[in-house]
Amino acid sequence: MQLGKVMQYIRQLSTYVLAIVIGVFLSGCLWVLPSQADPVPQATISQAATPAAPTQKAAIQPNSFVTAAVNRVGQAVVRIDTERTITRRLPDPFSDDPFFRRFFGENFPQQLPPERLQGLGSGFIVDSSGEILTNAHVVAQADKVTVTLKDGRVLEGQVQGVDEVTDLAAIKVNGKNLPVAPLGDSSSVQVGDWAIAVGNPLGLDNTVTLGIVSTLKRSSAQVGIPDKRLDFIQTDAAINPGNSGGPLLNDRGEVIGINTAIRADGMGIGFAIPIDKAKAIKDRLIRGEQVAHPYIGVQMETLTPSLARQNNSDPNSAIQIPEVNGVLVVRVLPNSPAAAAGLRRGDVIVQVDGQTITKAEQLQSLVEDTQVGQAIQVKVRRGDRTQQLSVRTGELQSASLK
């Protein structure tokens, strides 16, 4: 009986000890893992509750400066389609062959049937009454000129004036309150400025290309058209056939040039006539007046002492050249002002009216800025002597060189 009570007491004591051990264990777990009611450090709350700051993005503008520039000018840019009729004579071997003469008799054809040639270019309106500027080569010898406006209207154009030396021409259409392209100032253009070409390249109307001004005062001789009197704006804005005559714009939508020349061997290089050149003669072109260009009548090359020494060291050289900086006279045109003044092949022009001359483009520009019939004082080196000649400029004709 006593033994039974002792065993019951031991079992109850074991239960109490086990309960205490379990209680201590659970208390330790709760201490290590705080309950939801336990406070969380403020720093932890701030980090968890505050989301990461979003990356700042530049505000997206609804329109770019290109859009604004084109919207300002686009309505004034036109498409120019031309047609002209040409006739070609048969090659002389046919017309002079006795067999063909005997066979055809007097009915032997002297020339091929007339052929219609079509051309395409661009232009832009400079007066609300319908005055348009474009390139001379766009409308050269055209029998018919058709002008298509941006709004789809098709008008007949009349060529008012053409100046082949500057590759500029003026067209007139009958219009009223037409949109006008604002003309800028090409003298303020700098290398690196934005350049926006607008036109109809390859017949694709109203095309816009973007680039920069690559360089300034690129001479026509460097471009590959030495019969012109121009210093071009060079740009990498795409200028393709059909763009000729269209405007080259700055970032404010002002016309700074007239797209014109394309080098077939130059990828991504285009050229434009500075708008200041066009502004100087556009009124005369619109009135149908001839634009006079003074000339002296020499073919010339820029000369340096190094080039002169190279020539002089060649035993096959026809002439000895003064080893100086200047402009070498390569050829004197017969019956020209230069010939009348006594200039000779091999002369080196070193001064004009007291101004030192070191480049052919510089001499051409000085002559262009004179008046037809004006006398200029030219200092030349001829062998080991220096001479002063007076040259009276003449009017440049198509057969003249400079």
Active site residue 95: no
DSSP secondary structure of 315-343: TT-SS---SSSEEEEEEE-TTSHHHHHT-
Pair 381, 389: CB distance under 8 Å? no
Residue type, 176: K
Pair 104, 79: CB distance under 8 Å? no
Alpha carbon distance 111, 193 (integer Å): 52
Active site residue 137: yes
Residue 266's SS3 state is coil
Phi, psi dihedral angles at 306 (to 5 degrees): -65, -45
Q: Which class for 87: exposed (0-12), middle (13-18), buried (19 or more C-beta within 10 A)?
A: exposed
Judged by phi (left if over 0) then psi (alpha if -120 to 50, else beta), residue 388 lies in beta
Give, in degrees to the nearest 5, the angle at Cα 263 between 66 and 246. Answer: 40
239 closest CA partner among 216, 265, 218, 211: 211
| Six-digit token string for 284 | 């005369």
CA distances from 85 to 88, 132, 134, 161 (A): 10, 24, 21, 20
The catalytically annotated residue of 81, 163, 167, 347 is 167
Alpha carbon distance 293, 400 (integer Å): 11
Alpha carbon distance 318, 206 (integer Å): 55
Pair 123, 138: CB distance under 8 Å? yes
Active site residue 314: no
Percent helix, strand, coil in the chain (nearest 5)? 30, 35, 40
The catalytically annotated residue of 122, 186, 219, 244 is 244
Q: Where are the beta strands (DSSP E) in 40-149?
A: 77-86, 115-127, 131-135, 144-148
What's the length of the chain? 402
Q: Which residues lie across from 146 on neighbouring strands?
A: 81, 156
The catalytically annotated residue of 81, 137, 163, 336 is 137
Residues forming the active site: 137, 167, 244
